[in-house]
């Protein structure tokens, strides 16, 4: 169905009918000039926002719309968890070009609802409008935490242990794989077009690249999970991080933020970087250094955090968390100790679309 058949209000009505709010703190969702929230007494509110642009943050030639919606939400929830807070509400703005049908927008929303349901988050408002060019998605997420539970980037102290959840570099390897297959496919189409072979064109239209054995890195790229489970595990274990961030631009970049804002240095060990087998295999195949991918790949949406040295046993006992180094005095700088024992300055080559 064409969006113009419904218009803005018709489209919003159609999308809103599947959206039910569940949080006690959500007094009124979609349908007025503003959403109305009742913050829990004595709690702090945390707010984060992200703007995703077609062609910069996602490529619709290989990203399914439902996954895109899911990821757009998870990326924001990840920022809420990184404060050691719990997400409660979010607003969604979409700018859509004329190539989109009503069903496309419903797919995006289906993915968003799925991500929201996973963490009990209410969609409480937004804006739906036209775009002359690509798709734009803007999400603002709102969460809550007790003041004393909040974890900033600035609380790391020398001797604190540096921990990361999950493994790193997988989403980046997934992206490399998708980009490679896109180039191959486009080349094949171009050749078929030149040769004028209708049969070949037909075959290509049906073709699906073989991604078997690569499912994990693809899923990490296309359908990342915000690590609310880690936040819950830390709370259960009584571990309060001294600093924390989510890893969106790459571990190196995030560690440099923590060190800068905590006025410390850091020392991490290459051999401690957590890697999945598929990440390593893909890096090998693409002739890339897997440690570089883990340090700078970005879009991991894992958590990097620091805990006091005394917490070593407690944090090491937790599943899916690894100690990769420790915080130092600022004059020691930010160092990576390579497998051969060499010391290298950590550099943030993280994803930075505004840097040439």
How far apart CA 340 and CA 77 sit, in angstroms, is 38
| Residue 292 engages a second copy in binding (rule: CB under 8 A) | no
| Residue 126 engages a second copy in binding (rule: CB under 8 A) | yes
Taking alpha carbons only, the member of 297, 85, 290, 265 closest to residue 158 is 265
| Residue 262 engages a second copy in binding (rule: CB under 8 A) | no
Q: Which of residues 132-161 bind a second copy (CB under 8 A)?
A: 132-134, 136, 138, 140, 142-143, 147, 150, 152-154
Measured from the CB of residue 333, what is the shortest distance to a second copy in angstroms? 18
**Residue 58 DSSP symbol:** B
| Residue 342 engages a second copy in binding (rule: CB under 8 A) | no
# binding residues, a second copy (CB under 8 A): 76
Measured from the CB of residue 192, what is the shortest distance to a second copy in angstroms? 27
Q: Which of residues 197-236 bind a second copy (CB under 8 A)?
A: none
How far apart CA 181 and CA 280 sit, in angstroms, is 18
Look at residue 269 and give its three-state secondary structure: strand
H or E segment to which residue 83 belongs: none
Q: Which of residues 75-104 bind a second copy (CB under 8 A)?
A: 79-80, 82-83, 85, 89, 91, 93-96
| Residue 4 engages a second copy in binding (rule: CB under 8 A) | yes
The smaller minimum CB distance to a second copy, of residues 9 and 319, is found at 9
Measured from the CB of residue 118, what is the shortest distance to a second copy in angstroms? 19
For the chain, the maximum distance between any two Cα atoms, rounded to a whole number of angstroms, is 70
How far apart CA 326 and CA 306 sit, in angstroms, is 8
| Residue 168 engages a second copy in binding (rule: CB under 8 A) | no
**Residue 229 DSSP symbol:** H
> Contacting a second copy (CB under 8 A), which of 14, 16, 19, 44?
44
Of 48-56, 262-270, 314-322, 326-334: span binding a second copy (CB under 8 A): 48-56
Neighbours of 354 (CB within 10 A): 5
DSSP 165-232: ES-SSHHHHHHHHHHHHHHHHHHHHHHHHHHT-HHHHHHHHH-----TT-HHHHHHHHS----HHHHH
Cβ atoms of residues 299 and 291 within 8 Å: no
> Contacting a second copy (CB under 8 A), which of 125, 224, 228, 265?
125
The smaller minimum CB distance to a second copy, of residues 107 and 276, is found at 107
Neighbours of 180 (CB within 10 A): 14
| Residue 6 engages a second copy in binding (rule: CB under 8 A) | yes
Q: Which of residues 11-30 bind a second copy (CB under 8 A)?
A: 11, 27-28
| Residue 173 engages a second copy in binding (rule: CB under 8 A) | no
The smaller minimum CB distance to a second copy, of residues 171 and 192, is found at 171
Tokens 């969460």 appear where? Answer: 143
């Amino acid at each position: 169905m064409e969006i113009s058949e419904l218009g803005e209000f018709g489209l919003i009505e159609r999308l809103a009918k599947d959206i039910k709010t569940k949080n006690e703190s959500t007094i009124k969702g979609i349908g007025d000039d503003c959403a109305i929230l009742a913050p829990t007494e004595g709690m702090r509110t945390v707010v984060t926002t992200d703007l995703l642009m077609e062609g910069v943050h996602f490529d619709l030639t290989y990203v399914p719309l439902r996954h895109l919606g899911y990821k757009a939400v998870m990326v924001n929830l990840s920022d809420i968890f990184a404060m050691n807070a719990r997400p409660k509400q979010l607003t969604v703005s979409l700018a859509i070009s004329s190539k989109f049908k009503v069903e496309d927008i419903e797919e995006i929303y289906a993915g968003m609802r799925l991500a929201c349901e996973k963490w009990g988050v209410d969609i409480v408002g937004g804006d739906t409008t036209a775009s002359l060019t690509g798709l734009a998605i803007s999400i603002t997420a709102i969460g809550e935490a007790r003041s004393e539970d909040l974890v900033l980037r600035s609380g790391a102290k020398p001797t604190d242990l540096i921990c990361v959840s999950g493994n790193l570099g997988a989403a980046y390897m997934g992206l490399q794989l998708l980009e490679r297959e896109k180039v191959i496919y486009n080349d094949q189409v171009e050749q078929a077009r030149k040769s004028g072979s209708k049969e070949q064109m037909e075959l290509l239209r049906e073709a699906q690249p073989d991604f078997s054995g690569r499912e994990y890195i693809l899923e990490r790229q296309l359908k990342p999970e915000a690590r609310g489970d880690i936040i819950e595990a830390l709370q259960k274990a009584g571990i309060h991080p001294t600093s924390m961030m989510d890893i969106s631009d790459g571990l190196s970049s995030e560690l440099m933020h923590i060190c800068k804002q905590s006025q410390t240095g850091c020392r991490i060990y290459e051999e401690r970087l957590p890697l999945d087998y598929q990440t390593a295999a893909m890096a090998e195949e693409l002739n890339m250094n897997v440690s570089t991918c883990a340090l700078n790949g970005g879009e991991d949406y894992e958590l990097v955090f620091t805990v006091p040295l005394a917490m070593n046993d407690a944090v090491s006992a937790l599943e899916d968390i690894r100690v990769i180094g420790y915080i130092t005095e600022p004059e020691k700088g930010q160092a990576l100790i390579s497998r051969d024992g060499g010391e290298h300055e950590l550099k943030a080559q993280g994803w930075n679309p505004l840097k040439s």
